[in-house]
């Protein structure tokens, strides 16, 4: 029996996943969480085979859940399910240790295929995402300016774009305020911008925000 945990702050999304996966004789939903901290705790205590993880959540993001799970050497294979299909984000999450990447608009059959394939020890990337990533590589240049950022710079960028203050970001990522300021300086320089409003607009243009920034 394949054991699965759902980590997503949208109850409707979790309900949809539960309905699709729970009807399968070889899959059991063993836990759910609406934020990254609780989700990571479930991964540590339940050690499920697969976890479906959202990117944008209260508390720690899907990136950090993935990175922490890898650092803790947890056996769970993580499948990122997000609205974001731009090349930089899937690439960063796969580099962070995710075993798969799906969009929330995927069909039920694709969700089941991905979960089973990943539980079997293989990777799965949605075809449309794989195509974007391949085209970015073939083009010889970044698909978007966010491709220039490191994983941590990208995470700080998204938190800034969502309107979070620097001290809040520092606490959330367990970094010093000085380190966050350094990341901010570097990412602003790489993106050729000078304020967070422009950053939020750029993130929305490139599909890296699920909704409008919060202030």
The three-state (H, E, C) secondary structure of 116-162, written as one string: HHHHCCCCEECHHHHHHHHHHHHHCCCCCHHHHCCHHHHHHHHHHHC
Q: Are 60 and 36 in contact (CB under 8 A)?
A: yes
Does the pTM of the predicted model rise above 0.85?
no
Residues 131-146: tens digit of each pLDDT: 766 666 665 545 678 8
Residue 117 burial (C-beta neighbours within 10 Å; 0-12, 13-18, 19+): middle
**What phi, psi does 153 have (nearest 5°)?**
-60, -40
Q: Are 63 and 155 in contact (CB under 8 A)?
A: yes
> Residue 101 forms beta bridges with which residues?
80, 125
Q: Are 191 and 148 in contact (CB under 8 A)?
A: yes
In whole angstroms, how far apart are CA 209 and each of 20, 33, 35, 156, 192? 26, 21, 17, 13, 19
Indicate the pLDDT class of residue 31, thresholds 50, 70 and 90.
very high
Q: Is the pLDDT of residue 151 over 90?
A: no
- Residue 24: the pLDDT is 96
pLDDT mean over 27-55: 95
Are 18 and 104 members of one domain? Answer: yes
Range of the domain at 167: 145-205
- Residue 48: the pLDDT is 97
162 is written with which tokens? 């969502």
Q: Is the pLDDT of residue 213 over 50?
A: no
CATH number at residue 201: 1.10.10.10
Are 196 and 122 members of one domain? Answer: no
pLDDT mean over 50-58: 87
Let me know if residue 156 belongs to a domain. yes
Indicate the residue among 105, 137, 169 that finishes a domain. 137
**Span of 36-40, 84-88, 132-136, 189-193 with lowest mean pLDDT:** 84-88
Residues 74-113: tens digit of each pLDDT: 999 999 988 765 555 677 778 788 999 998 888 999 999 9
Q: Is the pLDDT of residue 158 over 50?
A: yes
Q: Is the pLDDT of residue 215 over 60?
A: no
Indicate the residue among 119, 137, 155 that finishes a domain. 137
Distance of CA 50 to the CA centre of its chain: 15
Q: In whole angstroms, what is the distance from residue 107 CA to residue 95 CA?
A: 25
CATH number at residue 51: 3.40.50.2300
Let me know if residue 213 belongs to a domain. no
- Residue 154: the pLDDT is 83
Higher pLDDT, 148 or 195: 195
Q: In whole angstroms, what is the distance from residue 192 CA to residue 139 CA?
A: 21
Give me the residue label for tokens 């699920």: 210
Are 99 and 180 members of one domain? Answer: no
Q: Are 31 and 53 in contact (CB under 8 A)?
A: no
- Residue 21: the pLDDT is 96
Are 10 and 77 members of one domain? Answer: yes
Distance of CA 30 to the CA centre of its chain: 21
Let me know if residue 215 belongs to a domain. no
How many domains does one find in the chain?
2
Let me know if residue 211 belongs to a domain. no
Indicate the residue among 101, 117, 137 that finishes a domain. 137
Residue 20 CB neighbours (<10 A): 16
Q: What percent of the chain shows pLDDT beyond 90?
A: 51
Q: DSSP assignment, residue 26?
A: T
């Amino acid at each position: 029996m394949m054991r699965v945990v759902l980590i997503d702050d949208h109850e409707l999304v979790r309900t949809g996943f539960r309905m699709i996966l729970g009807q399968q004789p070889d899959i059991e939903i063993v836990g759910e969480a609406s934020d990254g901290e609780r989700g990571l705790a479930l991964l540590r205590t339940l050690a499920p085979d697969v976890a479906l993880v959202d990117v944008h959540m209260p508390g720690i993001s899907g990136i950090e859940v993935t990175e922490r799970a890898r650092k803790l050497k947890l056996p769970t294979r993580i499948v990122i399910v997000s609205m974001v299909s731009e090349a930089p984000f899937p690439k960063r999450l796969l580099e962070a240790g995710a075993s798969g990447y799906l969009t929330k608009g995927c069909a039920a059959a694709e969700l089941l295929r991905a979960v089973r394939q990943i539980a079997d020890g293989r990777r799965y990337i949605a075809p449309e995402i794989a195509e974007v990533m391949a085209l970015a590589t073939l083009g010889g240049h970044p698909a978007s300016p966010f491709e220039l950022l490191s994983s941590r710079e990208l995470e700080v960028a998204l938190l800034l774009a969502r309107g979070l203050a620097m001290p809040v970001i520092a606490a959330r990522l367990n970094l010093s305020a000085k380190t966050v300021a350094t990341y901010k300086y570097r990412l602003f320089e790489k993106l050729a911008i000078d304020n967070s409003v422009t950053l939020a607009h750029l993130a929305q243009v490139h599909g890296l925000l699920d909704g409008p920034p919060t202030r």
